Amino acid sequence: MAPQPDTAEHPLWEQVAFVIERIRPAVQNDGGDIELVEITPQNAVRIRMHGACVGCPSASMTLRIGIERNLKDRVPGVTAVEAVE
């Protein structure tokens, strides 16, 4: 497992981006990609799916099980992960 950033020294955006960068290679191996779009004031992370992820029947499962679970486990304060168009 890659080292985690010290949450006391990194803003939420950097922590989320750090985790997404660790997830990205697995998504890219399947022909897709993910982009961090924004973090709402309620700490919901909004991402955009690209490539093979767009329209893929497994994209919602990847979002919930892969991305959301990783972010919630590794970044304190993340309340949800939402895909945007």
> What is the distance between the alpha carbons of residues 19 and 16, in angstroms, rounded to a whole number?
5
Q: Which domain holds residue 73?
A: 32-84
Please choose, from the candidates 15, 76, 84, 74, the residue with its C-alpha nearest in 3D space to the C-alpha of residue 46: 84
Q: Are 79 and 42 in contact (CB under 8 A)?
A: yes
21 in a structural domain: no
Q: Within 1-80, where are the H helices?
A: 12-29, 59-61, 69-74
Q: Report if residue 3 sits inside a domain.
A: no
Number of domains in the chain: 1
Query: Residue 10 — very low, low, confident or very high, per pLDDT cuts 50/70/90?
Result: low
Interval 57-78 mean pLDDT: 85
Residues near 35 by beta carbon (within 8 Å), at least 6 away in sequence = 47, 48, 50
pTM of the model: 0.79
Q: What is the pLDDT of residue 20?
A: 94
Is position 48 within any domain? yes
Mean pLDDT score of the chain: 84
Q: What is the CATH number of the domain that holds 72?
A: 3.30.300.130
Structure tokens at 3: 């080292």
Residue 11 covered by a domain: no
